[in-house]
Amino acid sequence: MSKLKTPQRKSALGRGLNALLEDASFLAEERRISPTQEIAIEKIQVNPFQPRKDFDATTLQELCDSIKLHGIIQPLTVRQLTASTYQLIAGERRLKAAKMAGFSHIPAYIRTADDQQMLEIALVENIQRENLNPIEIALSYQRLLTECQIKQETLGARVGKNRVTVNNYLRLLKLPPEIQIALRDQKIGMGHARALINVEAVDAQLGIFQEIIEENLSVRNVELLVRNIARDKSPKVLPKEKGTNALKRTMHDASNQLTDRLGTRVKVHLQAEERGKIEIAFINAADLSRILKMLLVGP
């Protein structure tokens, strides 16, 4: 009689998770990432490379309440500095919330990483969580380019975003500081900022920005203002019989300067000999009021 085989016991983890654990086992063997350990919170130093500076008090309290109820579901990632000290790589919100909840220890993965690796890990981890404001995201992308030496053509793949999205964020850093601060503080939206980027002159950008704040302009209205400015950027050829070449150049330059200064479309028309008129466009009463203030008392 043949010997009966004992049925093999199936793992409760399931085959997919087992495969993942097997694939990740080499990391622990190479001492790149250790298994989760409970670490005293007082031994963990904050990550100096953390791109996030602002933590919303309400959401932080909500996370604290969740941790009190369910514990830490996602461990932190740290690197070991000495036998008794660690430095945070990723998970500062969880660390802050755990402190608020009164925890003395917290689960963490211990990873071997140099300063550049720490910066890249922290930046990418925060960007992928999508909880940074637009300026923090833009600064994070810029730091990945400059400090981590990641090429711009491959940056999108590293952070899980398409190239156009990454470029749109990077362009925000070209805006004047006042506009960047307003975007960071959610006084204007990403749509407003993206429209303002297309205005070349800083004075015009700031003029439209001030109107957005004072008149609560929609993104559509801002885009219309920007289109009006762009419409007059190409040189207009005056009829040959009207004025000299020098006067035509002066009129063209005057149109561009006034357009940039006032943040709206301005045309200078020649009527007879050297006489003419200036035509200033506005989109609504609020826009007219803004222009009058700039003309009468300055910006």
Question: What's phi and psi for 279, nearest 5 deg?
Answer: -110, 120
Residue 258: its pLDDT value, please? 80
Find out whether 108 and 76 touch, Cβ atoms under 8 Å.
Answer: yes
Mean pLDDT of the chain: 75
Interval 76-103: pLDDT, tens: 888 888 878 888 888 888 899 999 999 9
Interval 27-41: pLDDT, tens: 333 344 456 788 899
- Judged by average pLDDT, the poorest of 8-17, 35-44, 134-143 is 8-17
Residue 19: its pLDDT value, please? 41
C-alpha distances in Å from residue 177, one per residue of 213, 233, 261, 263: 15, 25, 18, 18
257-273 b/e (C-beta count within 10 Å ≥ 16 → b): ebbbbbbbbbbbebeee
Q: Can you tell me which residue has the tokens 């909880």?
A: 131
* Cβ contacts of 123 within 8 Å, gap of 6 or more: 49, 51, 140, 143, 144, 148
Residue 171: its pLDDT value, please? 92
Residue 272: its pLDDT value, please? 57
- Judged by average pLDDT, the poorest of 150-164, 202-216, 222-236 is 222-236
* Cβ contacts of 212 within 8 Å, gap of 6 or more: 188, 192, 222
Residue 274 has pLDDT above 80, yes or no: no
Say how many C-beta atoms besides its own lie within 10 A of residue 280's C-beta.
15
> Tokens at residue 141, please?
């992308």
Helix (H, G, I), strand (E, B) or coil at 139: helix
Which region, left, alpha or beta, applies to residue 14 given φ > 0 means left and ψ of -120 to 50 means alpha? Answer: left
Residue 223 has pLDDT above 60, yes or no: yes
Q: Can you tell me which residue has the tokens 């300063």?
A: 115
Identify the CA nearest to 96 among candidates 57, 127, 130: 57
Q: Can you tell me which residue has the tokens 């953390």?
A: 50
Residue 225: its pLDDT value, please? 84
Strand (E) or helix (H) holding 214: helix 202-215
Residue 49: its pLDDT value, please? 63
Task: Identify the structural domains of the chain with CATH numbers, from first to last.
Answer: 28-113 (3.90.1530.30), 117-200 (1.10.10.2830), 201-299 (no CATH)
The Cα–Cα gap between 174 and 260 comes to: 17
> Tokens at residue 2, please?
């043949």
Residue 286 has pLDDT above 80, yes or no: no
Residue 149 has pLDDT above 90, yes or no: no
Q: pLDDT band for position 248 (50/70/90)?
A: low
Edge to edge, the sheet with strand 76-80 lists 37-40, 105-110, 76-80, 86-90, 44-45
Identify the CA nearest to 289 among candidates 268, 266, 264, 267: 264
Find out whether 36 and 108 touch, Cβ atoms under 8 Å.
Answer: yes
> Tokens at residue 7, please?
């049925």
Residue 255 has pLDDT above 70, yes or no: yes
Residues noted as catalytic:
92
